[in-house]
Structure 1
Amino acid sequence: MIQKFISLQWKEFIRSSSFQKGVAIKVLLFIAAAYIGGMAIIAGAGLYLGIKKMIPGIDPMLVVNSFIIFWFMADLLIRYFMQQMPVMNIKPLMTIPIKQKTVIHFLLGKSVISFFNLLPLLVAIPYCVTAYINGNYPLLNILFWLLSIIVITLSLNFLNVLVNKSNTVFYITATLLVSIVACQYFGIYNIAQHAGMVFYGLYMNPYYIVIPIAILAILYYANFNYLNNRFYLDSAISKKVKEVNTSDLSWLDRFGSMATFLKNDVRMIWRNKRPRQVVIMSFLFLFYGVLFFTNKLYNDMPAFLAFASIFITAGFLFSFGQLVPSWDSEHYKMMMSQNIPYRQYLESKWYLMVIAVVISFVLSTPYIYFGWDKYAMIAAGASFNIGINSFVTLFGGALNRVPIKLNERAKAFSNTQGFNPTQLLIALPKLLLPVLLFWLPYYLANYNVNAGIITLAVSGVVGLVFRNYFLTQIENVYQKGKYKTVAAFDEK
């Protein structure tokens, strides 16, 4: 039966619209994965000798075990935001004689096949090889330590599944991680030292491996039990009835024919958890500049300050804008069947992002405290976000065909539903282009900061001048991929 499931999943993959999104993007993602994997192998191979050279007289194995807990913490954090959860259309399977446990075991096994589970091995295996060759460590101890790392990595995989599915597990895990970092940072408790002794004990005493194996078994059972208790047809098709509160949005009528779209977006943000979380997270972007402006180190690196200035006013644009048109995936087919000009739909999204950038710029006024030059950078960043980044974001939406189910319960603070690796590629020009536009004139003008600020601001103005041209080109891209997008949003 597992073989049959694998066959069905393969057919679903090659027949889905996402498979036809473009060979170039898949090649770039493969190159990125190969590059990261190659760097991991090089880092693992040089880790033992590097520690031996930098910290002579101390066992490198003890050093690695002292800091490996922070590796696992970073691993869990990256998984939470980037690892896609295993999904499978189980509704057709509920009506045929297939054991429920078999489907659940297949789903959990599917989550193991992930680049995030492979990456630690690309570091740990070369490290163990070089440590065994150069350090004369007992082979049995090295092998069982490596096996412990593999088991802990799989445990993080299943913990991440629970964190994504359960708010309770999320809050407990987040509290624990924040407490560990705070204790280490403020010197309350040396986590690195004591955790290092625990992991070093896995090396010194191979039979201790039963502990991580037991943790893995517990997490696997917790995942199995969680899915098993929700594997019912009624829970899949039942709908919750909620009272809807109306609000007066007549002030948006000044936008004319686009007012209908703007009102729909405002209502969606007001009534649904996921977009509300996006608005909250975009507000936190306003404090991004504090990390840079309060650090004297960056005063001699204005390009980094320009980078931070982009983020201050781009919170809503980056978080909400990158998921256009996924926000409307549930009724996208209906919208496309109506006599609705595509241009108005896209223009309404653009105006929404522009309004958000303007509001963020106004709220960033307290940054004047750090100097008018810093505030001028923020103003130039806002101009670039309005005139360039808004159009790049809309263009990226044409390649985003991952639906968002607004009526499904979202996880705490975030939801990777609607996220796909393509967005990372689209994000590169939004992040690197403003830094390049600032740094080049800054360098050519004999390190004159004003030259970089003016160039960044003027680029945004130029983008506004060619607004109609950009929107027309973006509209053409959306029109060409309209039916693919409709088919992708209709997939379950």
Structure 2
Amino acid sequence: MFKRFVSLEWKQFSRSSYFQKGIAIKILLGLAALWMIASALVLGVAAFFGIQKVMPDKDPITVVNNFVIYWFLADVAFRYFLQQLPVLNIKPYMVIPIKRSTVIHFLLGKTTISFFNFLPLFFFLPFSVLLIINDFAALQVIAWFFSMIFFTLSINYLNFLLNKNNKAFYLILTLLIAAILLEYYGVYSITEPAGYFFNTIYNKPYAVIIPLLLMIILYRFNFKFIRKDFYLDGAISKETKEVHTQELTWLNRFGKVAPFLKNDVRMIIRNKRPKQVLFMSVIFLFYGLIFYTQETYQDMPAFLAFASMFITGGFLMSFGQLVPSWDSEYYKLLMSQNIPYREYLKSKWLLMAVAVVISFILSTPYIYFGWDIYGMIAAGALFNMGLNSFITLYGGVLNRVPMELNVKAKAFSNTQGFNPTQLLIALPKIFGPMLIFYLPYKFINFEAGIIALAISGILGLVFTNFFLNKIEKVYQKNKYKTIAAFSEKK
């Protein structure tokens, strides 16, 4: 039966529109994966020899155990945003005589076969081999290695649950940030109790049973969580709730794009996922505190330009990268109306531009760090409105992943609207302003870099109609591909 499941999953994948993405994108993603694997290998080897050189009086395994807790906490956050959990379309199997347990075990097995589960191997394996070669107790090292693998798989099953419970994720993220800050300012060191725990697992090989039991418990918890709602009526039922209508008449001043703006504002007010994006956009406002408060970055002004762009570009980055996935549930209806496509795109651009302006106003307290920093933030805001907004809209052509606006706690519904292609689209948005600022700064001065960044954004605003017309043609050309992709169920 599992062989049949694998065959059906491959057919679904190979026949879908997602399989038809450009070969160049696949090559770049493959290169990115190889780079991460190579980095993990180098880190695994360098960790052993580096610790021996810097801390010759300490065992490398002890030092790694003291800080491995940060690896796992970061892994939780990394997976939440990037790991695309494989989801089986279970509805067809609900009406045929297949055991529910068989389908659920296959679904959970798919989550195990993930790049994020294999990547830690390339760190822990070479590190463990070097330990054994250098006369560390083989039994203890092997038990420790499998413990790390079991913890990794436990995080995999934990991520399956966190994707359905945003509050739990925000709690873990808050704990991670708090632990880093407490460690940095010397208030409390989480490495001591965590290090004691992981060192105990190393010193007592039979303690490998702890992460093994944790993995089994999380697996069983996921199994019961899915089985609880594994019924046809539960899968197709819809929650009915009262909706309050907002007139939003103040948006009428924007003319033809007003109806689209009203739809977007209502969507943000009423739905969970857009609210999350809005919340994350507010967090971006504090991004500058990481760079402006550190003396290290004062000698690297290109990174200051990077931070300045992010301060005002939080909403643009998080909301804009999911255009047109926000409308995937009714995109077919939207495209069947007698409305200009250009007005639809213009409304998205206008919403992002207004968000940049609001973010810039809210960033006024950064004047505390100096007028040169605030001028860089202003230049970053102009760049975001004039160029990054259009790059983001253009990238939406490659974003054909359907998304549920109200992601509920369903174990078999994880349509997040995110795909790795967006990371590639983000590269010019991130490195573009850094390069535009750095070249004039290098050959002239700091103020020249700010002026170049601001002028590039102003030129983008001047040619707004030109960019919108070009982007409209691309969207029109790919309209039916997008409609077909949004009609699929991932």
State if a TM-score over 0.5 links the two structures: yes
Q: Using a 3 Å threshold, how does the CA distance of structure 1 residues 466 and 178 change in structure 2: closer, same or farther?
A: closer
**Paired residue secondary structure (1:98):** coil
Alignment of 1:89 onto 2:86: no
Structure 2 SS opposite 1:85: coil
Name the Cα RMSD after superposition.
1.8
SS across alignment from 1:287: coil
**1:392-428 per-position Cα deviation (integer Å, ceiling 9, x unaligned):** 00011110011111243279xxx98011100100011
Partner of 1:29: 29
Q: Give the structure 2 partner of residue 40 of structure 1.
A: 40
Supply the AA of the counterpart residue of 2:225. Y
Relative to 1, partners in 2 of residues 1:477 and 1:294: Cα closer, same or farther, differing over 3 Å? same
Distance 2:464 2:169 in 1: 43
In 2: Cα distance, 1:185 partner to 1:373 partner:
28
What's the CA shift for 1:72?
Answer: 1.1
**C-alpha contact 2:182 2:189 (8 A) present in aligned 1:** yes
- Alignment map for 1:147-162 (pairs within 5 Å): 147-162=146-161
Equivalent residues in 2 for 1:142-181, closer than 5 Å:
142-167=141-166, 169-170=168-169, 173-174=172-173, 177=176, 180-181=179-180
> Structure 2 vs 1, CA of residues 425 and 450 (structure 1 numbering), >3 Å: closer, same or farther?
same
- Structure 2: which 5+ residue stretches go unaligned? none
Identity across the alignment (%):
61
Letter in 1 for 2:480: Y
Change (3 A) 1:389 1:184: same
Aligned to 2:305: 306
Larger mean Cα displacement after TM superposition, 456-465 or 162-171 = 162-171
Taking the aligned partners of 1:152 and 1:458, their CA distance within structure 2 comes to 50
Output the CA distance in 2 between the equivalents of 1:478 and 1:121. Answer: 42
Distance in 2 (CA, whole Å) between partners of 1:62 and 1:478 is: 55
Report the CA distance between 1:197 and its aligned residue: 2.6
Aligned with residue 467 of structure 2, among 448, 467, 470:
470
Contact persistence 1:313–1:378 (CA under 8 A): yes
| 1:461 pairs with one of 452, 458, 461 | 458
- Distance of 1:458 and 1:78 partners within structure 2: 36
The reply on whether 1:484 has 2:489 as its aligned counterpart is no
Checking the alignment, whether the CA contact within 8 Å between 2:164 and 2:407 is kept in structure 1 is: no
Deviation at 1:195, TM superposition (A): 2.1
1:198 to partner: Cα distance? 2.1
Q: Shift of the alpha carbon at 1:167?
A: 4.6
Q: 1:214-229 counterparts in 2 under 5 A?
A: 214-229=213-228
Cα displacement string for residues 116-140 of structure 1 (whole angstroms, at most 9, x for unaligned residues): 111110011111112211x212222
1:207 partner amino acid: Y
Aligned partner of 2:11 in structure 1 is 11
**Cα distance change on mapping 1:290 and 1:416 into 2, 3 Å:** farther
Q: 1:393 to 1:178 in 2, by over 3 A?
A: closer
CA distance in 1, matches of 2:383, 2:348: 17
Q: How does 1:386-401 map to 2 (within 5 A)?
A: 386-401=385-400
Asked if structure 2 preserves the Cα contact closer than 8 Å seen for 1:273 and 1:410, the reply is: no
Instruction: Tell me how far 1:95 sits from its aligned partner.
Output: 0.5
Change (3 A) 1:416 1:231: closer
Q: Which residue of 2 aligns with 1:329?
A: 328
TM-score of the superposition, structure 1-length normalised? Answer: 0.95
Equivalent position of 1:120 in the other structure = 120
Counterpart CA distance in 1 for 2:487 and 2:266 is 23
Q: Residue in 1 aligned with 2:62?
A: 62
1:102 aligns with 2:102: yes
Using a 3 Å threshold, how does the CA distance of structure 1 residues 334 and 220 change in structure 2: closer, same or farther? same
Question: How far did residue 61 of structure 1 move?
Answer: 1.5
Partner of 2:427: 428
Offset at residue 370 of structure 1 (A)? 2.3
1:174: Cα distance to partner? 4.7
Q: What number of residue pairs does the alignment pair up?
A: 486
Q: Contact conserved, 2:88 with 2:107, CA < 8 A, in 1?
A: yes
Q: Return the offset for 1:19.
A: 0.8
